[in-house]
Structure 1
Amino acid sequence: MDIKAAVKQLTHKHKTNNPYELAQLLNIIVMYAELGSTWGYFTTYKRSKFIIINQNISEELQAYTCAHELGHSVLHKGVSTPFLKAHTLFSIDKIERQANTFAVELLLPDELLQQYPETSIHRFADMVGVPMGLEVLKK
């Protein structure tokens, strides 16, 4: 699965890399709730798609979470990671890594990095809310 190509296709088609705008364009409803230590999740109910984001995390982390959950909606149609985690022995690590990679590619587009070559990827990652250490997923 070429995640970078999937992100490029999506952003080229919709002319934005803003995860909230993309969610709206893909008819995904973004909602906020108190989720304790969970940052967010993606779910489908009666053919409607939802991204639920923890209202108690920073705005930057909310944007990252939206991008991550958008990754699940694009890359993992019909896959329920909470179900897999609770009721099977299937490891969801690969699925979560793919969603993280999607979010990093979405929030750190090549064009941005090329436009400012003197700025490190670590600095950009910090500016757009990519959690520390996940910038290494950038291809």
Structure 2
Amino acid sequence: MFTQRIKRLVNYYVKLTGTRDPANIARFLGITIAILPLGNISGNYKLINRKRWIFINEDIPVDSTFFKIVLAHELGHAIFHRKENCAFIKNRTLLLTSGIEKEANIFAAYLLLSNELLQEYSNFTKEQLCQTTGYPQELLELRLK
């Protein structure tokens, strides 16, 4: 399955960049991040003239957990689905089961929810971990599979 491949790539990029921050990894990879009005779309990945772009909805606070989730998800598309144009639709994308959306979600889960973070909160219930970190339970469930 693609989970092993995702884990290897997450570990590779974390080791290469020294961070789990999706914005720093995207910049390292030469992916431009633009914050724009996107209506009901939270984020979007596009390949334009052989240049990779991640667009994030301006309504999402840059310092929020949701911003990181959307950015990590779109970074997953930029890495795995370079030639696809993909949108993250608020409140829906984590529930979608199409192959490319699932892959991007799993990438985001492994990037944002490290083994160290899970160990740090090992005495918490899933609900407590989600409330404390701000990550949705769907993302945690993907990471724990």
Unaligned runs of 5+ in 1: 83-90
After superposition, give the CA deviation of every residue in 1:56-115 in whole Å (9 maximum; x if it has no partner): 124221111000000001111222347xxxxxxxx9711101101100111101122123
TM-score scaled to structure 2, two decimals? 0.78
Matched positions, count: 131
Q: Which residue of 2 aligns with 1:45?
A: 48
1:32 aligns with 2:41: no
Give the corresponding residue for 1:21.
Answer: 24
The alignment's TM-score, normalised by the length of structure 1, stands at 0.81
- Identity across matched positions, percent: 31
| RMSD over equivalenced CA pairs, Å | 2.2
Cα distance change on mapping 1:127 and 1:51 into 2, 3 Å? farther
Displaced runs of 4 or more, over 6 A? none
CA distance in 2, matches of 1:63, 1:121: 20
Contact 1:105–1:138 (8 Å) recurs in 2: yes
**What is the rounded CA distance, in whole Å, between the counterparts of 2:130 and 2:10 in structure 1?**
17
1:67 partner letter: A
Partner of 2:60: 57
Q: How does 1:118-129 map to 2 (within 5 A)?
A: 118-129=123-134
